[in-house]
Structure 1
Amino acid sequence: MQVWVLLFNANTDNEGIYTLEIDGDNIVVAFEEEDDAIRYAGLLEAQDFLSPTVESIDSEDLEAFCRESNYDLNIVPTEGLLVPPEKNVDKTDWSKDLEKGQSEPEDEIIVEDPVIAMMRRRLENLL
């Protein structure tokens, strides 16, 4: 199954994948639907976060990457809605000058009720 992830500095030596840090754990966020990934990327940009690239990847490959990298994986289902945390880490893990221990954990994942998510999508499509 194909899923959609958010990449930063895509196709470079300094490429990074979007994760949420919750209670010290890095959680890779993937989406079943490309539109949901694009919408989430837009929400991140609205918060003055770096501009991510939405890329598709096979879910089995992503699971293997997460196992090898000691990351957890959260695949946002089609009927789910993920809202970015209110604040982002000060420095990214893929920054060359990262000093460990300076990033603050982000807020927990919020998955919205499927009915509300459907209504929100309909309203967004009106724009």
Structure 2
Amino acid sequence: MQVYVLLFNAGTENEGIHTLKIQEGDRNVVLMFESEDDATRYGLMLEAQDFLSPAVECFESEEIEEFCEGAHYECVLVPEGTLALPPETNVEELDWNPEDDGRSPHPKSPDSETSLSTLSDAELERIRRQLEGLL
């Protein structure tokens, strides 16, 4: 089955995938959208929050599942027609640096120009309920 995910710097050596960070268990979750339109809508909502502009890319679900397993991420299938909403706030420090040239072994950068705030407990609970509703 084909799914759509959000990528940053798609097609470059510094490609990154959008994940939701769930504090409980310190988990990263990749959203796999059944519908390209739903993924595009989600990406536009991220942009509206002054997040980086993602590209919507199509993959086989098995490929994303294998990637997630290797990266110790989880993945959630977002059924077509589901209005997935991004968190109201974003994590403070990205696990990926959009300006990394690919030569640095650790892409985290405390000097990143992206200023993001941490998720509140209430926001985490809202995201958890939303993700559980998708399953």
Q: Normalising by structure 1, what TM-score?
A: 0.78
Residue in structure 1 matched with residue 22 of structure 2 by the alignment: 22
- Give the AA of the match of 1:69: A
Residue in structure 2 matched with residue 12 of structure 1 by the alignment: 12
**Deviations along 1:20-58, whole A, 9 cap, x unmatched?**
001210001110000000000000001111000000000
Residue in structure 1 matched with residue 48 of structure 2 by the alignment: 46
- Give the AA of the match of 1:104: T
**Deviations along 1:52-83, whole A, 9 cap, x unmatched?**
00000000111111111110001101142211
Residue 98, structure 1, aligned to residue 109, structure 2: yes
- Give the gaps of 5 or more residues in structure 1: 114-127
Give the distance between the partners of 1:97 and 1:25, measured in 2 at CA: 17
What root-mean-square deviation, in Å, do the aligned CA atoms of Structure 1 and Structure 2 show?
Answer: 2.3
Q: Secondary structure at the match of 1:4?
A: strand
Q: Normalising by structure 2, what TM-score?
A: 0.73
State the identity %.
51
Aligned residues: 111
For the Cα contact (< 8 Å) 2:38–2:81, is it kept in 1? no
